[in-house]
A and B are shown apart, each in its own frame.
Chain A
Amino acid sequence: MAVTRRQFMKVSAAGLAASSVGALGFTGAGEALAAGVRPFKLERATETRNACPYCAVACGVLIYTMGDRSKNARSEIIHIEGDPDHPVNRGTLCPRGAAALDFVRSPNRLKYPMVRKPGSDKFERISWDVAMDRVAKLVKEDRDKNFIAKNRDGVTVNRWLTTGFFGTSSQSNEAGYLTYKLVRATGLLGLEDQARI
């Protein structure tokens, strides 16, 4: 008989209820109790394959979300656990990965673009449009002012040294590649990430 993980959990829950109660002599009560056991909540959840965000073992994780993924509904992540099929972690997670849900749900998540003006003692919420417009303006202003087309020997160098870019080793390869393309196209040389710090 092929038993899925979920069926196995269901059978186990029922078995547990039956055995512990049955041991006390309440014959028949086990079935009644098993029938009353709440359905395993992950049964109603959507399972998504992902990877732990922390170290480079990059353990496979399964993320469980509630919500039917219809366009007008927001899914909520309710549980994260190790992916038992992953050849490296085989379902296990360490104390960091096991708490990954608390990172996703951290009260310190940033939710809106903000600006802290010179000399100010607070952040103010701004719109994405205002934020990105400002960023693009600051970038262009500095690049246009300080771009070095030729060095002292008259050699074409096309570099820009007055702005730096620290990228993240936690983004996807695709995000990293697009970051690289854009940053390099500006001639910026001070591009780094966590790889050597």
Chain B
Amino acid sequence: MTNSWNDIKNTDLVLVMGGNAAEAHPCGFKWVVEAKANNGAKLIVVDPRFTRTAAVADVYAPIRPGTDIAFLSGVMRYLLGNNKIQQEYTKAYTNASYLVKAGYKFEDGLFSGFDEGRKAYVDRSGWDYEFDEQGMAKVDETLQDPRCVINLLKAHVERYTPEMVERICGTPKDKFLKICEMIGTTSTPDRTMTSMYALGWTQHTTGAQNIRSMAMIQLLLGNMGMPGGGVNALRGHSNVQGITDLALLSTSTPGYLVLPTEKETTFADYMKSRAFKPIRPGQTSFWQNYGKFFVSQQKSFFGAAATKDNDWAYDYLPKFDTGYDTLKIVDLMAAGQMTGLFCQGLNLMMAAPDKTKVQAGLSKLKWLVVIDPLETETARFWENHGEYNNVDPKAIQTEVIVLPTTTFAEDEGSATNSSRVIMWHWKAAEGPGEVRSDIEIMSDLFHRLKTAYAKDGGAFPDPILNLTWNYSNPRNPDPAEVLKEINGYAVEDVPDPADPSKLLLRAGQLLPNFGVMRDDGKTASGCWIYTGVYTEAGNMSMRRDASDPTGRGVFSNWGFAWPANRRVLYNRASADPNGKPWSERKKYVWWNGSRWTGPDVPDYAPTVAPDKAVGPFIMNPEGTARLFARTALPDGPFPEHYEPMDAYIANPLHPKVTTNPVVRVFAADAKAFGKPDKFPIVATSYRLTEHFHYWTKNAHTNAVLQPELFVEMGERLAKAKGVKDGDWVEVTSQRGSIKAKACVTKRLRPIMVDGKPCDVLGIPIHYGFVGLTRKAHPMNVLTPPVGDASVQTPEYKAFLVDVKKTTPPAQSPAVA
């Protein structure tokens, strides 16, 4: 989230699209109710299904799954065409006035530089600004030049008329225009809109561009950095934010740094593309500090073994040729190219798309280690469960080792919620049997490996032998000591740069903030954005002061929000270029004549005066936010509507380029996609309010509340298929088929797409062949093995199926 759960109460308009907060995030959704009750806010819900969030909305509009970019581009067209944009904000705080190179083009569904053979934009040189001799981006403050970003954007979204939106999305024109009008009201400086989204936006082959579309709308409206504004990812697991920050992701390292590629053969090469020199006069370009964060991290990982002479142990890090994301790992497994796999609290058999492929992949492993507090389908993938998992154990040669772990209640440490607030939790009891914590298990594995490499040698033992693990109890480190290491400390005395006769930090001192970090090895920090969470003043994540003196919902002394305890990101933008609040009603951070002040920590250098014209988006070398993304994403500097890979129609905008042209399709999956002649129904997956992913099917109350798999279908579809509520149906996609009970409902109605009714089928994700719920076919039998072009999030939210009435499963599902 750019803002926070509590901040939602400051909003005037909530757009829930790509999520269903009332059911999936009920206790966060109460802040929407609060805004409606006490701030006069309205709620818009755009969803294929009439959800419980929709039930309390002021306006609900249906949309065909996978068409959000068309809808949002139509909103942009409306805002630009009806002058419903925050003009001064857009001009001063975005790249609206920047001139784009003549090499940039968009024609027939393709941006410039596309290579048909390689299915990639190989020449993206045109996706950039014109630069002057000093390397500064050229701008036209009058916004008259047709190559200005804002004019190119206008031209790009011009095709998304309300009629086109209705044709693609199936959203009735009157509803769409009503929503545009409501959104447009927040372009005034005294009103804001908040965007709340979840997997309904990310799980598409255009996932990252869905979110970009909303970011662009919020920039046009002047809603970024404002109380009650922002783009807010609701997010799934209790610590998914923390684990993302700490980079359990193929090509990342903690704090949003990036692993080196194999082309960056030396540390100097690596740093070349990370110089981040400002490209507008006087800008901060905060990533210029990248080297300090990177070197401090290497010192944290490898201690004395990371020296200037060995480029801070640069070669201890693996260099990647390509990303090894979930889909890629599964593909390699299925191709028999992997030996082993760890699943630590991740139920891959359920969580990855195309269960048949996952099953085949696991069966080809030599070994699998499952670390989990619960029984999972993954640990039992080799076990025969009748038609729900019809395998022959004798034929599966994978060795499976299961290691039982503690749960949240039996464990101590910090976790980061989706508002970026790091909060400590305390251990309540010991776990059952012989369970161990993840910390103890990883420490045990580390010591066994270290001992073996020290004794017997082996492939490149250096990083393992030199890995820092200097905790008081290295076999089971105290989480508090680990959080101190993440925060960072001075490796040796650090002199004060202003007065070298004084000490800024003494050796061993915890770092107060990331501003003191150095690239000379004198400081160490595991994750720079977390610096400040554990200082000499104590463990800030333990703070539990629930006071909020300004009533803005800031709660500065409750836990610690990264970065720098800042609760609303980009909050300098809540004031105008002169440093005055855009409006008294939305006053948040402002210039008081000598410094920036307000209820929150300014996202800005605290004493840089407004007349220095430093932009509020300090992470970008422009100092402004990007309506035009340059080369940040692989599938275009502007978002464009492409159909899901299981395409329901030919793309009305450019039938020759129907789907996202740079989506990665593995050779093994060339025939994995369905066509509407055989699979004429659009399916989408979703979550029930009574269940959490694949865990709560192991919890008694939840299993009682929602005991079995069903699929939700509209009355029209049910009638056409001769299905009554409670009948068994078979749902088939190009990947496979499942049986489930039908839930015939008014919540799903046909959506008029391209003038014809489109039926949508909804499938909850929670059921499998392990648990206290009735056994079921995992629904990921149906989903396609393909991901977002930018980050490879699987396309779970829009795929094609057919459905027919059937008989109950041969083996009547009983409680497992």
Contacts and interface: CB of A to CB of B under 8 A. Distances in A.
Interface in A155-197: 155-182, 184-197
B670 to A, nearest CB: 22
Contacts of A57: 5, 25, 27-28, 234, 417-418
A58 B417 contact: yes
Contact of B449 (A110, A113, A140, A170): A140
Contact of B248 (A93, A104, A128, A191): A191
Interface in B354-390: 366-367, 369, 371-375, 382-384
B815 to A, nearest CB: 11
Contact of A168 (B316, B338, B346, B794): B346
Interface in B435-453: 435-439, 441-446, 448-449, 452-453
B460 A196 contact: no
Given A80-B409, A161-B324, A169-B239, A108 B770 contact: yes
Interface in A43-94: 46, 48-60, 63, 65, 67, 74-77, 80, 82, 85-90, 92-94
A58 B415 contact: yes
Nearest to B696: A96
B315 interface: yes
Interface stretch (B43-51, B421-429, B506-514): B421-429
B724 interface: no
B399 A159 contact: no
Given A95-B702, A110-B375, A110-B404, A166 B417 contact: no
Interface in B575-625: none
Contacts of B411: 172, 175
B460 A149 contact: yes
B434 A112 contact: yes
B463 A187 contact: yes
B254 A177 contact: yes
Interface stretch (B55-63, B282-290, B326-334, B637-645): B326-334
9 contacts: A63-B428, A92-B27, A113-B401, A155-B265, A157-B319, A157-B321, A164-B341, A166-B341, A197-B351
Contacts of A111: 404, 432-435
Given A108-B771, A195-B249, A128 B436 contact: yes
A135 to B, nearest CB: 6
B413 interface: yes
Given A108-B772, A175-B438, A55 B238 contact: yes
A25 interface: no
Given A169-B243, A178-B442, A184 B691 contact: no
Given A173-B246, A195-B248, A163 B479 contact: no
B758 interface: no
Interface residues of B, number: 167
B687 to A, nearest CB: 9
Contacts of A174: 413-414, 439, 477, 479, 482-483, 486
A134 B345 CA distance: 20
A111 B239 CA distance: 24
Nearest to A133: B448
Contacts of B418: 56-58
A183 B142 CA distance: 53
Contacts of B714: none
A4 interface: no
Interface stretch (A6-14, A27-35, A119-127): A119-127
A184 to B, nearest CB: 7
